[in-house]
Amino acid sequence: MKTENLETLLLDRALGELPPAVLELLDEHLTQNPDAAQQADTLTATLQLARQAVAMPPEAPPRPLAMGALRQAQREWRWRGLTQEVLRLAACAMLGLALGWYAHASRPAPELAQTSHLEPTTVGAVSVEPSSGGTAAAPRFWSLAKLQAEQRSRPVSASHQESRYQLQWDSPVKMPRVVEDKL
């Protein structure tokens, strides 16, 4: 038998693809030829080693997911993120308070005007009186209705109607100031 044909037949025999009639004839040949029998044994051993190397071990069943541990990790992550956000907000609030306090502390305190030297004055038909005591009166809002009510409550003399004083408004929340009209 030719060597090429023998190798093909031995390979088919090792793989189990030979028909039974051809398998009997090959076994008869191998019993009579010891070199061919040794070649067949080597090929069979090689195929068995290849099958073992390629064969995959059976997969272990997957472990169930530890949901309790996963939920605990998620809770810790959420709390860590929330804590960081609260700390950032607290830091911003403290910074704002510190800057506000610093800005307020660095501003000079307003001096209180001494009004004891002022005398009651009538400007036009409106009478303006300084506050009693040595300090300025408590701030209060003024209105035209209040000024008109004061005008009606005090008698106006003829000498005061031609006064050279005017009312000057600096702000809608402050009382108007009396200034001398420079003609």
Residue 83: pLDDT over 90: yes
Tokens 């501003």 sit on residue: 107
pLDDT band at 117 (very low <50, low <70, confident <90, very high): low
Q: pTM, whole model, 2 decimals?
A: 0.31
Percent of the chain at pLDDT > 90 equals: 13
CB 165 within 8 A of CB 121: yes
Residue 74 pLDDT exceeds 60: yes
Q: Quick one: DSSP state of residue 172?
A: T
For residues 30-50, average pLDDT: 88
pLDDT at 85 over 90: yes
Give every CB contact of residue 131 below 8 A, 6+ residues apart in sequence. 115, 137
| Residue pair 175/142 in contact by the 8 Å Cβ criterion | yes
Tell me what pLDDT residue 82 has: 92
pLDDT of residue 161: 55
- Give CB contacts under 8 A, 24+ apart, made by 12-19: 13/40, 14/40, 14/43, 14/44, 14/47, 15/47
One-letter amino acid for residue 19 of the chain: P
